[in-house]
Chain A
Amino acid sequence: MSTEALIQVIASGLLLGLIYALIAVGLSLIFGLMDVVNFAHGEFLMVAMYATFGLWFVTAIDPILLAPVVTALLFVFGALVYLGVVRYAMRAKANIGMVQIFATFGLAILIQGLAQYFFTPDYRSIAGSWLGGKTLNIGGIFLPLPQIYGGVISVIVFGGLYLLMSRTDFGRALEATREDQGAVALVGIDRNRVFALGWGLGAALVGLAGAVLAIFYYIHPQVGGTFALIAYVTVALGGFGSVFGALVAGIIVGLVEAITAIVLPPAMKSVGVYALYLGVVFVRPSGLFGRL
């Protein structure tokens, strides 16, 4: 393989990695806040993609401009999922972890079923957006504009999250709640409210990822599953709950996947990612940036 082709593969892997990170960070955030793994994370992504498609279809406004709307919608959706489902699942007296897993799992299957029923299993795709199908050619290296846009959004989001977590009251409340759920009540922080906002934020982030992805990926009731597995390994690799870890791990996953596909038969490209993850488990079981 020529150097040019190799650079292409690495560049594509990097861009995709940034998008993986954006997809995964909401999952990591929710886990970090309250130790709940949202098994419906992929379905949140799917809902966001359909929301983008639907809004685009009705209003014919470019998906880039619709992204804030979709993000806001998913924020509400995430908060409602917490208030309507997860809050109750957390009241279990025994096997609380399993109850949460099955509650979010059930939700995932319900959302998938509803999507298939109402949107049909046909594949959708957004035709004629500003960036769709456009590619930047830098000396034979092709960088699709929608993915560059996704990468830029991802970097901005991680910057924003850093500021949010470290500079705002809401961020501090999130951090405090995750440190000690009991103690925050004593200083007047409503735990339920923080959780609901945390779910809203997590869903909003995956919503933004969906709005980005909808520009260049097909939209289908099952599309979440394709990315959810990657999101889980990204979160596990980066460290459960670590926002920065999700960024690093997303990039690593994107790169390792791209490179594995040229070293090994491409059918085995996820092998590289999982081999790396297992390697990390030996050294740092809670992930690269997870708390030990």
Chain B
Amino acid sequence: MKMNRRQVLMSGAALTALAPLGRMAFAQAGGEVVIGVIYPMSGSNAQIGVDARHAFETALDLINNDYDLPLPGAKGAGLAGLGGAKIRLIFADHQADPQKGRAEAERLITQDKVAAIVGAFHSSVSNTVSVTTERYAIPYMCADSSSPSLHRRNLKFFFRPAAHDEMFSKAMFDFMDAQKKKGKKIESVGLFHEDTIFGTDSSNVQRKLAEERGYKVVADIKYRANSPSLTSEVQQIKSADPDVLLPSSYTTDAILLVKTMGELGYKPKNIIAQAAGFSEKTVFDTVGNQLIGLISRASFSLDAAAKRPFITTVNDMFNKRAARDLNDNTSRQLMALLILADAIDRAKSVEGEKVREALAATNIPGEKTIMPWKQVKFGADGQNEDADPVLLQYTGDNKFTTIFPEAVAANEPKWPMNA
């Protein structure tokens, strides 16, 4: 009861705070394309929203100003297809709540007349927001929500340039298979996942892959997100002591998980994380010393700058704003806006159906992105199947190195993480 009242009040406060933004949008003049951006700007994942904002503003800088970089939208100021029109972003806060996300999407579409919406970090929110955009027939660019169920709902206006958790988890198991071939002992895995759509979907895939490839699941722990304590949960993993621990956790739980592991004297033999919290700087700032050797899936690796020096340029632009390097999340956010801008540019229109058609016809080679992807080309379900993920290993001091796939690896993995 109390929590409900609190949530009702919080949403009220958030809406009041956002009211002036709504009014500003009416001033929308010609030569401007308005895009809605829905992220958690308050609540326990507010830092995600803060960083996302910096990522989108970096992308906006690339699009609206002239940069000589081989990225879609970078050359020339504004969108050439719309007579040099500039993009303006309107940020909305979903507070990690799918219902608030839906309401904000509705507001962005009906009041602010946005041409498209980008979101939303939380898969649970992407779920509701994309249903709303579908109803109003405007494109939803799913930048960084990775639940595989999202693109399997026959939505015409849903697009996801980055990988989903099946692709990510497959990379993890491919890596484990490769390690096994090299004679490393990997027999069992332990799943540790939070209880919203992200953790549930991620663990479903991992459970299936483990079964198919002959890994024994010795612990399968679904925990409550934002718990004050994870002692019982960690104790269960510790008792099972899997060869590889596979956590799917957001920031708060990632910090608490690692702290609790330390308190209970548990050193997992290996961790391969489904990014999320485990790609956040703050986690490595607070508990990084216990995470040396952690492996996380990622869509992005700074190592790739060796072959594509412009990645460093973009990273510097981002770092100037955010005081941190691009990571798994922020790289996907930045790319998503560039891809969307490229489509609007080609559509020469802000009409939902035209932009959708242009998005569906997207064909950007991997070399023109900051990602390790083969290319950006959406299937009929809106998923880019060529968004090859990588695995990164944490080497300390907020630094990561690419260890898989071998074609792009910069270093040999340290395995096991804790001998």
Contact = CB atoms under 8 A, between A and B. Distances in A.
Interface stretch (B72-80, B230-238, B305-313): B230-238
A261 B233 contact: yes
- The majority secondary structure among interface residues of chain A is helix
A133 B228 CA distance: 17
Contact of B231 (A9, A125, A127): A9
B290 to A, nearest CB: 9
B348 to A, nearest CB: 39
Given A16-B231, A122-B282, A218-B255, A133 B262 contact: yes
A105 B6 contact: yes
A262 B232 contact: yes
A178 interface: no
Interface string A240-256: 00000000000000000
Contact of A125 (B44, B239, B255): B255
Contacts of B44: 220, 222, 225
Nearest to A8: B235
Nearest to A101: B5
B7 to A, nearest CB: 10
B229 A257 contact: yes
Interface stretch (A68-76, A155-163, A165-173, A267-275): A267-275
A92 interface: no
Nearest to A16: B229
A126 B86 CA distance: 44
Nearest to B230: A266
B264 interface: yes
Interface string B257-268: 001001111000
B46 A1 contact: no
Interface in B314-364: none
B262 A135 contact: yes
Contact of B264 (A8, A217, A221): A8
A137 B263 CA distance: 10
Nearest to B239: A5
Best-surrounded residue of A1, A225, A230, A267 (most CB of chain B within 10 A): A267
Interface string A113-134: 1001000111111010000010
Interface string A131-156: 00101010000101001000000000
A222 B43 contact: yes
B178 interface: no
A218 B256 contact: yes
A123 B255 contact: yes
A180 B5 CA distance: 31
Contacts of A257: 229, 232
Contacts of B262: 133, 135
How extensive is the interface on chain A, given as a class? 35 or more
Interface in B65-123: none
Interface string A11-53: 0110010000000000000000000000100000000000000
B128 interface: no
B256 to A, nearest CB: 7
A226 interface: yes
B228 A269 contact: no
A142 B47 CA distance: 33
A94 to B, nearest CB: 20
A214 interface: no
B3 interface: yes
Interface stretch (B136-144, B145-153, B219-227): B219-227
Contacts of B181: none
B27 interface: no
Nearest to A6: B235
Contacts of A232: 2
Best-surrounded residue of B229, B263, B264, B286 (most CB of chain A within 10 A): B229
A120 B231 contact: no
15 contacts: A5-B235, A8-B231, A109-B10, A120-B50, A121-B49, A216-B263, A218-B256, A222-B43, A225-B226, A226-B252, A258-B232, A261-B223, A262-B236, A266-B232, A269-B223
Given A9-B231, A220-B252, 14 more contacts: A5-B235, A8-B235, A16-B228, A116-B42, A120-B50, A122-B282, A123-B285, A142-B264, A226-B226, A262-B232, A265-B222, A266-B233, A267-B195, A268-B224
